[in-house]
Amino acid sequence: MASIRSCGVIAAMLLTAGLPAAALGQAKTSHLDAPARKPGWWEFKATTDSGQDFGTLGLCVGPRSEAAYSAFDQILDAINLGDGTCPKRDFVRTADGWSFDLACDAGLAAGPGGGPATNQGTITGDLQTGYVIHETLAMAGATNTGNIAAAWTGDCPAGRSEGDEDVGGGTVVNVLR
């Protein structure tokens, strides 16, 4: 089976909750360099500004996974659901962290939720212990704004390998495969 990339941890959930499962396939983003996160288990909790809670997901981070799937890659993958055509991939260092401005062709026909997709926002905090992504995602005629709180919780749990991403519902994918 081809390698599977999740859709930006929970970021995609803020916008793609109503899309068919086939639409949430493999993203083909080229790697974006970002400051490395602390190795270990990271948990990501997403909520929309309207208060909708999307639960908590996890990622086992290590040097190899950071080299292939950085924090910036996760954010970009939220809107890059298809062929990897993302002409705008701007991450800029700010006094408080980072700002980002992204645009992709979602890689899907407009009918099932595709077409142009954008994501703008900020990253504040410390990539070694915890950070918050505040983002506005627009895709398939819908715009949602929310936060993803990322927290380092310690070593990866028993049975989890570097790159394992728990995407909920008992599903684990590995971002290195």
The reply to whether 150 falls in a domain is yes
Q: Containing domain of residue 46, as a range?
A: 39-174
Q: How many percent of the chain have pLDDT more than 70?
A: 75
The reply to whether 33 falls in a domain is no
Name which of 72, 134, 133, 137 is nearest 104 in CA terms. Answer: 137
Reduce the DSSP state of residue 102 to 3 states and report it.
strand
The reply to whether 30 falls in a domain is no
Q: Considering its fold, how many domains does the chain have in total? A: 1
158: which residues sit within 8 A by CB, 6+ positions away?
none
The reply to whether 4 falls in a domain is no
Judge whether 58 and 166 are in contact, CB under 8 Å: yes
The reply to whether 6 falls in a domain is no
Q: Measured between alpha carbons, how far is 96 from 78 in angstroms, rounded to an integer? A: 23
Predicted confidence pLDDT, tens digits, the chain (177 residues): 223 333 343 444 443 333 333 333 334 445 677 889 999 999 999 999 998 998 899 999 999 999 988 898 888 887 776 666 788 889 999 999 999 999 988 666 666 566 788 899 999 999 899 999 999 988 877 888 999 999 999 999 999 999 999 988 889 999 898
Q: How many other C-beta atoms are found inside a 10 Å radius of the C-beta of residue 87?
A: 8
Whether this model's pTM surpasses 0.75: yes
The reply to whether 137 falls in a domain is yes
Name which of 49, 36, 68 is nearest 165 in CA terms. Answer: 68
The reply to whether 18 falls in a domain is no
Q: Measured between alpha carbons, how far is 3 from 113 in angstroms, rounded to an integer? A: 23
- How far are the Cα atoms of 34, 98, 124 from residue 93, in angstroms, in the given order? 10, 4, 10
The reply to whether 152 falls in a domain is yes
